[in-house]
Amino acid sequence: MRDKKYALITGTGSYIPSRRVPNTDFLENTFLNNDGTPLDKPIEETIQKFSEITGIEERRYAKDDVLASDMGAEAGKQALSSAELDPEKLDYIVVAHNFGDVRADNPRVDMVPTLASRVKHKLGIKNPYCVAYDLPFGCPGWVQGLIQCNYYLRSEDASAGLVIGTETLSRICDPHDRDSMIYSDGAGAAVLEGRESNTPVGILSHSARTDTEEQAYYLKMDSSYNSDDNDSLYMKMNGRKLYQYALTHVPELVKTSLDKANIGFDEVAKVFIHQANAKMDAAILERLAKLYGHNEVSDDIMPMTISRLGNSSVATVPTLLDLVLRGEMENHQIEKGDIIVLASVGAGMNINAIVYQMD
């Protein structure tokens, strides 16, 4: 009997911009309410409250001459090196993002050619049968890219794919919106290869959902809170509704994925969740544990980078995974045979989750 084919992560990489932006950098900002009126609290109090809710103390911004495709290419190069894979052997390059190559001096969406084509060009790959395409799926885009590549590798005569998440959120956030302090820049990548095995390994199961009836515009593009800025669109978030949506649906979707793989919560070594809000992520993990009858959950199960890297959208999960695999996250290691969960939630509204067993 022929072994079953599985998709395995064989290499990872990340690009963390060198420019550090601590919360104190926002002391000179003039934050406004959504109706354009000034906040009724001192800026220091607003920043302190923000830090308590989100857990963010600093974030990273790309240098002005660095684009999302540049960061994506560098993260991809690291992942290929980690996997010891010849780039010409790639069948697919999938690049998850939301806004393309937004220039520092011209905050307009630039997606022609696709970021995937730009990344392939920057990696110097000549193979015309390496298909490169973009995946705009909100913050869960990178996880969704893994799900798509998993299908390719298991159902086609394909052997390897490179999945990248890259974003420069700092360039599309309203400086008069306190939510702008959440966003950051960065890129993460993983090489996924197909391998036959007589025992389950790699991607064991996945689940995804899209809710649009009432939730489609919880995250959207809209005008600045400053009425003097009428020419640009910025990312806007209904934080309260998004928070409740995530707490309600992310735990149950993760449980669905675990149930598909016949794996219990007690068997999970790590949960890699989109770094959107530290308080929200902790609440999601707590609700997930309660679905299995646990009232407490160890801090060791969920590595977090949001306090120092902020929310870089599609880049948070692959960057977090890369840092752990490289031994750069204190008290967080992954061993052979460990079960991990990759999960994300974001604009759309979209949620997805993958159950993965380390090789």
Span 54-74, pLDDT tens digits: 999 999 999 999 999 999 999
What digits encode the pLDDT tens for the residues 176-228? Answer: 999 999 999 999 999 999 999 999 999 999 999 999 999 999 999 999 898 88
- Tell me, what's the pLDDT at 2? 60
Q: Are 56 and 105 in the same domain?
A: yes
Q: Are 186 and 246 in the same domain?
A: no
Distance CA(131)–CA(74), nearest Å, equals 19
Q: Are 183 and 250 in the same domain?
A: no
3-state class (DSSP) for residue 122: helix
Q: Are 168 and 261 in the same domain?
A: no
Q: Are 243 and 142 in the same domain?
A: no
Alpha-carbon radius of gyration of the chain = 20
Q: Is the alpha carbon torsion for 141, 147, 153, 155 positive or negative?
A: negative
Torsion, Cα 270 275 276 280, to 10 degrees, reads: 30
State how many domains the chain has: 2
Task: Name the percent of the chain lying above pLDDT 70.
Answer: 99
What digits encode the pLDDT tens for the residues 258-309? Answer: 999 999 999 999 999 999 999 999 999 999 999 999 988 887 999 999 999 9
In our burial notation (b when 16+ CB lie closer than 10 A, e otherwise), range 87-105 reads: beebbbbbbbbbbbbbeee
At 1, is the pLDDT very low, low, confident or very high (cuts 50, 70, 90)?
very low
Q: Are 246 and 311 in the same domain?
A: yes
Q: Are 259 and 294 in the same domain?
A: yes
Q: Are 263 and 283 in the same domain?
A: yes
In our burial notation (b when 16+ CB lie closer than 10 A, e otherwise), range 160-191 reads: bbbbbbbbbbbbbbbbbbbbbbbbbbbbbbbb
Residue 175 near residue 157, CB atoms below 8 Å? no
Q: Are 254 and 324 in the same domain?
A: yes
Torsion, Cα 155 160 162 163, to 10 degrees, reads: 30
Q: How far apart are the first and last CA of the chain?
A: 22
Q: Are 171 and 192 in the same domain?
A: yes
Q: Enter the tokens of residue 281.
A: 């992520």
Q: Are 343 and 244 in the same domain?
A: yes
Residue 317: CATH number of its domain: 3.40.47.10
3-class SS string, 279-325: HHHHHHHHHHHHHCCCCCCCHHHCCCCHHHHCECHHHHHHHHHHHHH
Q: Enter the tokens of residue 192.
A: 């996924």
In degrees, rounded to 5, the angle at the alpha carbon of residue 66 between the alpha carbons of residues 320 and 239 is 50
- pTM of this prediction? 0.95
What digits encode the pLDDT tens for the residues 102-129? Answer: 999 988 889 999 999 999 999 999 999 9
Q: Are 145 and 215 in the same domain?
A: no
3-state class (DSSP) for residue 47: helix
Question: Range of 224's domain?
Answer: 202-357
Final residue before a domain boundary, out of 165, 197, 229: 197
